[in-house]
A and B are shown apart, each in its own frame.
Chain A
Amino acid sequence: MRIDNAYFTRRKFLNSILGGWLGAVAASFISPIVKFVWPPYKEPDEVKLVFADYSGMQPGEVKNFAWGSKPGLIKRAPDGSFIAWVGVCTHLDCNVAWLPDKKQFFCACHDGWYDENGTNVSGPPPKPLRRLESSVEGEDLFVRKPGVGAKT
């Protein structure tokens, strides 16, 4: 049925009301589903290590620690402080290894190399290894994301 001078029929009007309503109901489910399917990003802000496990390291020595679910690398600097990196290649995410005799970090996936300061020197890695901050606080050795700062 069409009322005089109307742009559309009554059927068309009712169809779009029903269709629009169904569409809106469907759309309202999208957000909770998306939120559930994409979990919150879980990288830690800081991890606490036992200083005693690392205090005996020689300058230039590198050890591993767990940075959440990926490896971290921590190196003793000549002045006794620590330098830490996320031990994950900046190319495509493979875990890197520290090769003590070469004094370089090596990624076996596509032959990527970083020098002892974590700077990418050869192969596909486009960036240096990601730096983390570290500080000794009493018995603990804290490793933190840059800019997070100590929690008091």
Chain B
Amino acid sequence: MKIDMKKLAAWFDDRLALTPIFKYMTKKEVPQHEHSFWYYTGSSILLFLFIQIVTGIMLALYYQPTLEGATDSIGRIMTELPLGWLIRSVHSWSSTFMIAFVMIHLLAIWFTKSYRKPREATWMTGMMLLVVSMVFGFTGYLLPWDDLSLSATKVGTNIPMAIPVVGKWVTQFLRGGGDVTGDTLTRFYLFHVCILPLVIFAILAVHILLVQKEGMSVPLKDEIAKKKVPALPFWPNFILREVVIWLVLLGVLLTISLAFAPSLELTADLMAPAPEGVKPEWYFLFLFQTLKIFPANMGPVTGEFVAVVLILIAVVAIFFLPFIDNKPEGKKGKLIQYLGVAGLIYAIVFSIWSLL
């Protein structure tokens, strides 16, 4: 029997209403200007997110989220399973790349001010994605359950305690009790492989839908001058460039993963003293250092409380940045531009300082 492909396509189109989506894809255009390079950062994040999902599911086939089994099961993945060490290495490196690209994406949008009206909600869902990505990293860090990850998690989950009343609740929620125990490991695993993926997909769906709804932004000065910016068809021209970038990134990721596979320390002992050199993942280092420079007590409150409150204020301010920067072409807009540079320098300097 010969299947009439046209008829088959028409049948699906009838039920799923796909034509408008295809039509949209072929009609969609991406503006071309001196900053369009940054448009590729969003899709690069998608590449790494996809790699995280595939390698993560593979690791979950053998990983055991228990006190007794966690470290050994990773040891088994690395030594007994075909290419297991590489899968783990790719998962670990791709997480680093993903977060790095989320940060580059955010900074590029900060400096080009693409968050300005009407893209405020895109920015705000983006900030949520940043937080979720970092929580992904934080929960994943504990899963090998070695000495370093145990101590880092104890420190990390204790930080909310600096806030009176609610902080204690947050800490107990994260730990599944007063202390970091096997229950914490179970919880972190559940967050890492179930809750956070659901959350990130929900927010990402809104984020990408908003990008489609508004189309890509054009540079501020062209918008003010009402200049017509040349554009590139999304399909196939833009996608072709995207695919080239994906392949390059994939090559870099694989090379680094092959050369620098992560190690595995001894399994964590809840009773053992903390080892030297307890550090969080690199993207938390500047926050870690910020907490460290505050003195133990500042008048009636602890230094930690002051530090945590300041960090929270900064996060909330960045979340609402499009509303704070409501006159992007004015003096305040310039200032916010410089604040972005200052924030970047601050994060780099503090990260390096924390390693000294």
Contact = CB atoms under 8 A, between A and B. Distances in A.
B271 A124 contact: no
B3 interface: no
Interface of A: 37-39, 41-43, 64, 66, 68-71, 87, 89, 91-97, 106-110, 120, 124-126
Find the residue from B158, B273, B275, B296 having the highest chain A CB count within 10 A. Answer: B273
A69 B179 contact: yes
B81 interface: no
A70 B173 contact: no
Given A108-B274, A108-B276, A125-B296, A92 B179 contact: no
Contacts of A70: 179, 270-271
Contacts of B303: 124, 126
Contacts of A37: 173
A66 to B, nearest CB: 6
Contacts of B275: 108
B42 interface: no
Interface residues of B, number: 31
A85 to B, nearest CB: 13
Contact of B271 (A39, A71, A107, A108): A71
14 contacts: A43-B178, A70-B270, A71-B271, A71-B272, A89-B274, A92-B155, A93-B157, A106-B273, A108-B274, A108-B276, A109-B151, A109-B274, A124-B296, A124-B303
Contacts of B157: 93
Given A110-B292, A124-B296, A93 B155 contact: yes
B183 A39 contact: yes
Closest 3 A/B residue pairs (Cβ): A97-B273, A94-B274, A126-B296
A96 B292 CA distance: 18
Contacts of B297: 126
A86 B181 CA distance: 16
B154 A92 contact: yes
Contact of A39 (B177, B302, B304): B177
B112 interface: no
B254 interface: no
A94 B155 contact: yes
A109 B155 contact: yes
B177 A42 contact: yes
A145 to B, nearest CB: 13
B292 A41 contact: no
Nearest to A125: B296
B111 interface: no
A28 B296 CA distance: 42
B169 interface: yes
B163 to A, nearest CB: 14
A37 B183 CA distance: 11
A106 B159 CA distance: 20
Interface in B172-204: 172-173, 176-181, 183
Interface string B290-334: 001000110000111000000000000000000000000000000
B274 A42 contact: no
B258 interface: no
Find the residue from B275, B277, B297 having the highest chain A CB count within 10 A. Answer: B275
Nearest to B173: A38
A95 B155 contact: no
B278 interface: yes
A42 B176 CA distance: 10
A24 B169 CA distance: 24
Interface string B112-126: 000000000000000
A97 B147 CA distance: 14
A97 B272 CA distance: 8
B288 to A, nearest CB: 9
